[in-house]
Amino acid sequence: MSVTAAKGFRASGVTAGLKPSGRPDVALVINDGPNRDAAAVFTSNRVEAAPVTWSRQVVSDGRVDAVVLNSGGANACTGAQGFADTHRTAEHVGERLQVSAGDVAVCSTGLIGELLPMDTLLAGVDAAAPALSADGGHAAAEAIMTTDTVAKECVVTGEGWTVGGMAKGAGMLAPSLATMLVVITTDVVADAATLHEVLAEATSTTFDRIDSDGCQSTNDTVLLLSSGASGVQVDRRELATAVTGVCADLARRLIGDAEGAAHDIEIEIRSAATVDDALEVARAIARNNLFKCAVFGNDPNWGRVVAAVGTTSAAFEPSQLDVTINGVQVCRGCGVGDDRSGVDLSVRDVHVIVDLHAGAQTATVWTNDLTHDYVHENSAYST
């Protein structure tokens, strides 16, 4: 049920015809209230898509009544016409749902640099509006998929209240924020400022720490909407834990479904001087193509790990680096450790631990291996 698990929300997903595949491609989510508090985080890419520019403005007053999402086109790098199309989409949704266009967030995903076929999209909105239902969460989650192989949904419940979410994204996953669209809903009573704090905290340790291929999208959007329909006010910390839980689960599903991946890789940096140091080191490893190819080949090539670590400016003494891969400390003191043949990489999950021996901080980044299927999917995407 995902985005319709919390009280006060309806959703729908329909096939408008934006995707050549004929799969569902337009989704609506409406907040029936009584409250319409909202918060969002967006891509930090300076080349941002028209819907990001629009939705940033929509959410700036802390209110969102509805969200329209489409796959089959990113509406990025489409200039003034692209922005006009986003505006027109919001106006159209506003008319159909009897809400102000200025309270309609817009999310788009797909190929960059092409205008959306507006007649097709708006006809999709016309079909999606009457289909809105309290059972429509899954249909909405399906309609935002691009190269995703599965719909991504998650629900966390408290005593009398719920947080639920849906996500799409299967490539271009990189901080800050992956190529992903995420809508999270809750029926707790919470003002926009609280929602913003909670969402920023949640994304900083979840979506911001997945890095499938180092590429950052122009469209990334994470929305958090609150209807207040449960009438329950929860402790800020409790809400933050629930939202973080939903974000962490969805983030893990994004990595688990990344394009062409054969391994999910957890890179844990220990004993760093600062969290920033730990993150810099983790990301350097996560973006090292040679390491990622080695994992694809089930090769515990720790030399490529330490070579990546060596490119960072984090505090550490090179001669003290330790690397453990799936339980085997293959590198000790930057030299040969235990027998690398003992590392089992035939499993999907790979856990790399790098100990910097430089402090007490730690951080973890999730990534994938670099595979033939990744190259195949991304060399054929627009053709």
Question: Residues forming the annotated binding site?
Answer: 146, 168, 179, 259, 378, 383
Tell me whether the omega of the peptide bond preceding residue 44 falls within 30 degrees of 0, making it cis: no
Interface with its own copies: number of residues (CB under 8 A): 67
Which of residues 8 and 110 has its CB atom nearest to its own copies in the complex?
A: 110
Name residue 100's amino acid: S
Q: Is 380 a binder of its own copies (CB under 8 A)?
A: yes
Q: Which is nearer to its own copies, 236 or 348 (CB)?
A: 348
Does 9 bind its own copies (CB under 8 A)? Our answer is no
Q: How many residues does the chain have?
A: 383
Contact region for its own copies (CB under 8 A) — 27-35, 85-93, 212-220, 224-232? 212-220
| Rounded distance between C-alpha atoms, residue 27 and residue 16, angstroms | 10
308 interacts with its own copies by CB under 8 A: yes
Is residue 194 part of the contact set for its own copies (CB under 8 A)? no
Coil/strand/helix, residue 81: helix
Name which position in 296, 322, 343, 350 contacts its own copies (CB under 8 A).
296
264-293 binders of its own copies (CB under 8 A): 287-290, 293
Which range, of 23-31, 77-85, 155-163, 273-281, touches its own copies by CB under 8 A?
A: 77-85
- Examine residue 82 and tell whether it contacts its own copies (CB under 8 A): yes
Q: Residue 99 or 309: which CB sits closer to its own copies?
A: 309
The answer to whether residue 381 forms part of the interface with its own copies (CB under 8 A) is: yes
Among 17, 117, 256, 310, binds its own copies (CB under 8 A): 310
> Both tokens of residue 12?
């729908």
Which residue numbers belong to the known binding site for substrate?
146, 168, 179, 259, 378, 383
Residues with a known catalytic role? 179
Evaluate whether 58 touches 102 at the Cβ level (below 8 Å). yes
Structure tokens at 147: 């190269």
- Contact between 60 and 98 (Cβ < 8 Å): no
3-state secondary structure of 10: strand
Q: State the Cα–Cα distance between residues 225 and 165, nearest whole angstrom.
A: 10
Query: Is residue 315 at the binding interface for its own copies, with CB under 8 A as the rule?
Result: no
Q: What is the CA radius of gyration of the chain?
A: 21
Q: Measure the CA–CA gap between 112 and 31, rounded to whole angstroms.
A: 29
Tell me how far, at minimum, the Cβ of 178 lies from its own copies, in Å.
Answer: 12
Using rule CB under 8 A, residue 79 touches its own copies: yes
Position 160, amino acid: G
Residue 46 or 237: the one with the smaller Cβ distance to its own copies is: 46
Question: Is residue 12 near its own copies by the rule CB under 8 A?
Answer: no
CB 63 within 8 A of CB 38: yes
Q: Name the residue with tokens 């999209």.
A: 121
Distance from the first to the final alpha carbon of the chain: 34
Return the number of the residue (88 or 340) whose C-beta is nearest its own copies. 340
Which of 306, 354, 356, 363 touches its own copies (CB under 8 A)? 306
Task: Please report where in the chains the tokens 């309290």 appear, as a residue.
Answer: 134
> Is residue 43 within 8 Å of 220, Cβ to Cβ?
yes
Closer by beta carbon to its own copies, 95 or else 317: 317
Closest approach of its own copies to the CB of residue 35, in Å: 35
- Is the C-alpha dihedral spanning 49, 168, 265, 304 positive or negative? negative
We find the least distance from the C-beta atom of residue 222 to its own copies, in angstroms, to be 18
Cis amide linkage into residue 130, ω under 30° from 0: no
Amino acid at 300: P
Chain contacts with its own copies (rule: CB under 8 A): 45-48, 74, 76-82, 111-115, 171-172, 213-218, 287-290, 293-294, 296-297, 299, 301-304, 306-312, 318-319, 321, 330-331, 333-336, 340, 370-372, 374-376, 378-383
